[in-house]
Amino acid sequence: MTVKRRQVKRGRAVGRLRGKVHGGRSCGGARVGARGGRTAGGGRTGCGLVALVCVAAALLISPPVAGATQPPVDVRVREAERETVVSTIEYAGRLRPQRTVTHRADITGVLERLEVGAGDVVEPDQALATLRRRSGSSEFRPVAVRARIAGVITEVLASEGDELREGDELLRVADTSRLVAEVFLSDKDVDAVSRGDHVTARDTQRGHEFSAVVSRAGLMPDYRTGLFPVEIAVNPDPRSFIGQFLRFEFETGARSGIWVEREHLVLRRGAYHLFVLEGDEVALRRVTLGEEHGDKVMIEDGVSEGERFVVWSRGRLQDGRRVNLDE
């Protein structure tokens, strides 16, 4: 009787292994009897044990993980630190005097002389104009109209020779000791602003910055626009002037935590991750995101303070990839 030989296919995990089948199965060159038959060595075994031995052999001689055999990737990392981020809102407006005082004629008479003009700076009790009362052919002594406050003449409302009645408007003086601006806030922002709040004012065209404070917060909106008026007083500064256009920044809150720029996050399988340094490798760590501020987002879970995460890499990273620090 002639017995035909049958070659066993080469397995990728165990290399080139051969075995002759004599009424049973072979694994890695060991002859095994079918269904618990005796092996060539004389022992008795089952298919389950044989399969387990084969799997173990394949694992022992299988190639290592790809990330461990590839050359390391140059990376730059940053330490996760707690920082406080301040939320702000911004509105714009023009400076105007906090108050303007209208000076009137003290008597009925003729405006005999104007001592000042628009734009002139005046001091308290300074003579602004002279009036003379006339009655028929009689003339009375001139009466001076004097400044009640220090400031700048903004308007002259009469001319020399005009006949004025007592109480007629003569000129206006703006109090420039403190300039204010009125801005209009939306209903979603007005609750975050209160009287006395510190405000930063900026003249972006000239590169100037001023300190300011909320002097009045409107309780009633302008029903035509739906916006709430808020008055801001700018602290005295020689660089500020009437009509100056400023941008006002209000602080609305502060949050402390670990903040990361969005560009460092990795989106995988519908979730956000960070590559975190672990020894000489990086781990793809899933993170839980919190509130946002500009281009930053708070990390609520997944990375602890003091751990280092990747902010730049020379090549594509994967979980378990070896890295070199590029300082």
Distance between CA atoms of 169 and 106, rounded to whole angstroms? 10
Distance between CA atoms of 204 and 160, rounded to whole angstroms? 42
DSSP 13: T
Domains of the chain: which residue ranges?
Answer: 1-62, 73-80+265-325, 89-93+178-253, 97-176
Q: Within 13 Å and on the Cβ side, how many CA atoms surround 192? A: 17
Fold classification of 73-80+265-325 is 2.40.420
- The H-or-E segment that residue 54 falls in is helix 47-61
- The H-or-E segment that residue 26 falls in is strand 24-27
Q: Tell me: domain 97-176, CATH 3.40.50.300, correct?
A: no
Main-chain phi, psi angles of 56, to 5 degrees? -60, -40
pLDDT of residue 236: 86
**What is each CA distance from 103 to 118, 155, 156, 171, 173, in whole angstroms?**
13, 10, 10, 5, 8
Residues of the chain with pLDDT under 70: 1-68, 136-137
Fold classification of 89-93+178-253 is Elongation Factor Tu (Ef-tu); domain 3 (2.40.30)
Q: Tell which residue, 247, 233, 235, has the closest CA to residue 205.
A: 247
pLDDT of residue 136: 67
pLDDT of residue 245: 97
Distance between CA atoms of 179 and 233, rounded to whole angstroms? 6
pLDDT of residue 13: 38
Distance between CA atoms of 172 and 155, rounded to whole angstroms? 5
| Measured distance between the N- and C-terminal CA atoms of the chain, rounded to whole angstroms | 76
Rg from Cα positions in the chain: 44
pLDDT of residue 54: 53
Main-chain phi, psi angles of 230, to 5 degrees? -130, 130
pLDDT of residue 22: 42
Q: Residue 283: which region, alpha, beta or left (left: phi > 0; alpha: psi -120 to 50)?
A: beta
Report pTM. 0.59
DSSP characters over 243-265: T-EEEEEEEEEEEEEEEEEGGG-
